[in-house]
């Protein structure tokens, strides 16, 4: 449908010029913020960005499976894939640049960050993924764990602090403008709200044995079926 009605080109024609102007207009603010430059801040924000990156979750999510938290692991894996796909689809749709470097100082501590710097900017994938995955983890803990007013307040405070720090880190490192970060947070809230509506239905389908993955696993793990 997007190809037939030329929706991609039309949407890009509307969004790209506005976002590009916003990114260029925010360059002086980013440069002012980067005057706080310090080696400790560089290391802290670089490590923080790595902790919420896709390579980190690639190593972290199997630990949830191995520790027995199957539903949480399944949902966070599917949600990460969903967020990463939608976030990159929007980036390709808008095709907006990142802050110009130079004059903006860009800190890329890992090869993954260097590759990210070559992609389009809006929305910030780090902000989007953090909102969705930390939001879902908080929902899971409050749903299946002890839940009272103190736990809710503490969980929300920690989630808000992490999202805020990630947003600050992406601007400080020169990877995104404030517009990119706000867009990432906004998309993340929308995706998280949608996922909280459908996640039970998705998980019920995954574990029901009615989908191709479950059938393949059953055939592989059941010797009686293999003999047949």
Catalytic residues, by residue number, are 126, 176
* Contact by Cβ (8 Å): 165, 49: no
What's the sign of the alpha-carbon dihedral 94, 98, 99, 102? negative
CA atoms within 13 A on the CB side of 226: 6
Sequence-ordered list of residues with C-beta below 8 angstroms from that of 191, at least 6 positions apart, any chain = 79, 82, 83, 86, 128, 132
N- to C-terminal Cα distance for the chain?
Answer: 44
- Provide DSSP, 91-112: HHHH-PPPPPTTTS-----SHH
Residues in the chain: 228
Buried b / exposed e over 16-43, threshold 16 CB at 10 Å, is beebbebbeebeeebeebbeeeeeebee
């Amino acid at each position: 449908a997007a190809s037939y009605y030329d929706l991609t080109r039309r949407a890009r024609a509307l969004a790209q010029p506005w976002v590009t102007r916003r990114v260029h207009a925010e360059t002086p603010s980013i440069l002012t913020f980067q005057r706080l430059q310090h080696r400790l801040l560089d290391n802290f924000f670089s490590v923080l960005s790595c902790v919420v990156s896709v390579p980190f979750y690639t190593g972290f999510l199997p630990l949830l499976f191995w520790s027995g938290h199957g539903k949480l692991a399944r949902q966070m894996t599917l949600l990460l894939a969903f967020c990463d796909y939608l976030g990159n689809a929007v980036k390709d749709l808008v095709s907006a640049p990142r802050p110009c470097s130079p004059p903006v100082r860009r800190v890329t501590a890992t090869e993954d960050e260097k590759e990210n710097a070559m992609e389009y900017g809006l929305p910030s994938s780090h902000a989007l993924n953090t909102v969705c995955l930390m939001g879902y983890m908080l929902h899971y803990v409050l749903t299946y764990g002890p839940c009272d007013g103190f736990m809710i307040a503490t969980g929300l405070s920690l989630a808000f602090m992490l999202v805020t720090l990630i947003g600050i880190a992406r601007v400080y490192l020169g990877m995104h403008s404030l517009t990119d970060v706000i867009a990432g947070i906004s998309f993340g809230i929308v995706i998280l709200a949608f996922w909280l509506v459908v996640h039970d239905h998705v998980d019920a389908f995954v574990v029901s044995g009615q989908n191709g993955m479950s059938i393949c696993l059953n055939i592989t793990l059941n010797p009686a079926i293999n003999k047949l």
